[in-house]
Amino acid sequence: MVASNRNHHGASSNLHEIKRERKKSLFFRELSQIISLISNENTDVQKVYVTRVDFSQDAGILYVYLSTFDVFSEEIFKTALDALKLYRPSIRKELATRLNPRYTPEIIFIYDENREKQDRIDTLLDKVIQDLGDSKKK
Protein backbone atom coordinates (compact mmCIF):
# COMPACT_ATOMS: atom_id res chain seq x y z
CA MET A 1 0.00 0.00 0.00
CA VAL A 2 2.86 2.38 0.78
CA ALA A 3 4.46 1.76 -2.60
CA SER A 4 1.25 2.69 -4.41
CA ASN A 5 1.11 5.95 -2.45
CA ARG A 6 4.62 6.76 -3.62
CA ASN A 7 3.63 6.13 -7.21
CA HIS A 8 0.55 8.27 -6.82
CA HIS A 9 2.59 11.10 -5.29
CA GLY A 10 5.16 10.81 -8.10
CA ALA A 11 2.42 10.99 -10.71
CA SER A 12 0.97 14.04 -8.95
CA SER A 13 4.39 15.67 -8.96
CA ASN A 14 4.81 14.94 -12.67
CA LEU A 15 1.37 16.37 -13.39
CA HIS A 16 2.26 19.51 -11.44
CA GLU A 17 5.48 19.83 -13.45
CA ILE A 18 3.60 19.38 -16.74
CA LYS A 19 1.11 22.08 -15.76
CA ARG A 20 3.97 24.38 -14.73
CA GLU A 21 5.76 23.86 -18.07
CA ARG A 22 2.52 24.44 -20.00
CA LYS A 23 1.96 27.67 -18.06
CA LYS A 24 5.54 28.79 -18.80
CA SER A 25 4.99 28.05 -22.48
CA LEU A 26 1.79 30.12 -22.56
CA PHE A 27 3.42 33.05 -20.78
CA PHE A 28 6.46 32.81 -23.09
CA ARG A 29 4.29 32.90 -26.21
CA GLU A 30 2.12 35.78 -25.03
CA LEU A 31 5.05 37.82 -23.69
CA SER A 32 6.91 37.40 -26.96
CA GLN A 33 3.89 38.73 -28.85
CA ILE A 34 3.33 41.60 -26.42
CA ILE A 35 6.98 42.68 -26.55
CA SER A 36 6.87 42.46 -30.33
CA LEU A 37 3.89 44.83 -30.33
CA ILE A 38 5.71 47.18 -27.96
CA SER A 39 8.74 47.16 -30.26
CA ASN A 40 6.54 48.60 -33.03
CA GLU A 41 6.06 51.68 -30.84
CA ASN A 42 9.46 51.80 -29.15
CA THR A 43 12.62 51.23 -31.17
CA ASP A 44 14.68 50.56 -28.01
CA VAL A 45 12.69 47.38 -27.44
CA GLN A 46 13.29 46.17 -31.02
CA LYS A 47 16.81 45.15 -30.08
CA VAL A 48 15.84 42.46 -27.55
CA TYR A 49 13.76 39.30 -27.55
CA VAL A 50 12.44 36.85 -24.97
CA THR A 51 14.57 33.71 -24.75
CA ARG A 52 12.73 31.96 -21.91
CA VAL A 53 10.57 32.52 -18.86
CA ASP A 54 10.49 30.95 -15.43
CA PHE A 55 8.38 31.27 -12.32
CA SER A 56 9.41 31.65 -8.71
CA GLN A 57 8.56 28.65 -6.52
CA ASP A 58 5.19 30.15 -5.52
CA ALA A 59 4.55 31.47 -9.08
CA GLY A 60 4.27 35.01 -7.71
CA ILE A 61 7.16 36.26 -9.84
CA LEU A 62 7.69 35.71 -13.55
CA TYR A 63 11.34 35.93 -14.59
CA VAL A 64 11.59 37.02 -18.21
CA TYR A 65 14.98 36.29 -19.76
CA LEU A 66 15.97 38.55 -22.63
CA SER A 67 18.79 38.59 -25.12
CA THR A 68 19.90 41.04 -27.79
CA PHE A 69 19.66 40.34 -31.51
CA ASP A 70 23.13 41.64 -32.21
CA VAL A 71 26.31 41.14 -30.24
CA PHE A 72 25.62 41.86 -26.60
CA SER A 73 25.98 45.44 -25.57
CA GLU A 74 25.23 46.38 -21.98
CA GLU A 75 24.13 49.80 -23.17
CA ILE A 76 21.63 48.36 -25.68
CA PHE A 77 20.25 45.96 -23.08
CA LYS A 78 20.00 48.67 -20.39
CA THR A 79 18.15 51.00 -22.77
CA ALA A 80 15.68 48.25 -23.72
CA LEU A 81 15.31 47.24 -20.07
CA ASP A 82 14.53 50.81 -19.03
CA ALA A 83 11.84 50.99 -21.71
CA LEU A 84 10.34 47.62 -20.74
CA LYS A 85 10.21 48.65 -17.08
CA LEU A 86 7.96 51.55 -18.11
CA TYR A 87 5.67 49.10 -19.91
CA ARG A 88 5.64 46.55 -17.06
CA PRO A 89 2.18 47.52 -15.67
CA SER A 90 0.56 47.39 -19.11
CA ILE A 91 2.34 44.09 -19.89
CA ARG A 92 0.92 42.56 -16.68
CA LYS A 93 -2.53 43.87 -17.53
CA GLU A 94 -2.32 42.47 -21.07
CA LEU A 95 -1.17 39.07 -19.74
CA ALA A 96 -4.11 39.06 -17.33
CA THR A 97 -6.50 39.85 -20.19
CA ARG A 98 -5.06 37.28 -22.61
CA LEU A 99 -4.45 34.38 -20.23
CA ASN A 100 -6.98 35.07 -17.47
CA PRO A 101 -4.81 33.45 -14.78
CA ARG A 102 -5.97 33.22 -11.18
CA TYR A 103 -3.09 35.55 -10.31
CA THR A 104 -0.89 37.54 -12.68
CA PRO A 105 2.69 37.42 -11.39
CA GLU A 106 5.05 40.33 -10.94
CA ILE A 107 7.50 40.59 -13.84
CA ILE A 108 11.27 40.78 -13.52
CA PHE A 109 13.37 41.24 -16.66
CA ILE A 110 16.79 39.55 -16.68
CA TYR A 111 19.56 39.41 -19.26
CA ASP A 112 19.95 35.80 -20.43
CA GLU A 113 23.67 35.04 -20.27
CA ASN A 114 23.23 31.67 -22.02
CA ARG A 115 23.62 33.22 -25.47
CA GLU A 116 26.82 34.95 -24.44
CA LYS A 117 28.15 31.65 -23.07
CA GLN A 118 27.13 29.87 -26.28
CA ASP A 119 28.96 32.49 -28.36
CA ARG A 120 32.12 31.94 -26.28
CA ILE A 121 31.83 28.16 -26.72
CA ASP A 122 31.33 28.58 -30.48
CA THR A 123 34.41 30.84 -30.67
CA LEU A 124 36.48 28.29 -28.77
CA LEU A 125 35.27 25.44 -31.00
CA ASP A 126 36.05 27.45 -34.12
CA LYS A 127 39.54 28.08 -32.77
CA VAL A 128 40.05 24.36 -32.02
CA ILE A 129 38.88 23.43 -35.53
CA GLN A 130 41.21 26.04 -37.03
CA ASP A 131 44.13 24.80 -34.88
CA LEU A 132 43.42 21.21 -35.92
CA GLY A 133 43.34 22.28 -39.58
CA ASP A 134 46.64 24.15 -39.17
CA SER A 135 48.30 21.15 -37.50
CA LYS A 136 47.22 18.84 -40.37
CA LYS A 137 48.88 21.16 -42.90
CA LYS A 138 52.23 20.75 -41.15
**So where are the chain's domains?**
2-112
Say which CATH topology domain 2-112 has.
GMP Synthetase; Chain A, domain 3 (3.30.300)
pLDDT < 50: residue spans in the chain: 1-6
Question: In the prediction, which pLDDT does 9 show?
Answer: 56
Largest CA distance in the chain: 70
Phi-psi region of 112 (alpha: psi -120 to 50; beta: other; left: phi over 0): beta
**What would the pLDDT profile of 49-75 be if each residue is shown by its tens digit?**
999 999 999 999 999 999 888 777 778
* Residue 8 confidence (pLDDT): 52
- For residue 105, CA distances in Å to 23, 25, 58, 126, 128 come to 12, 15, 10, 42, 45
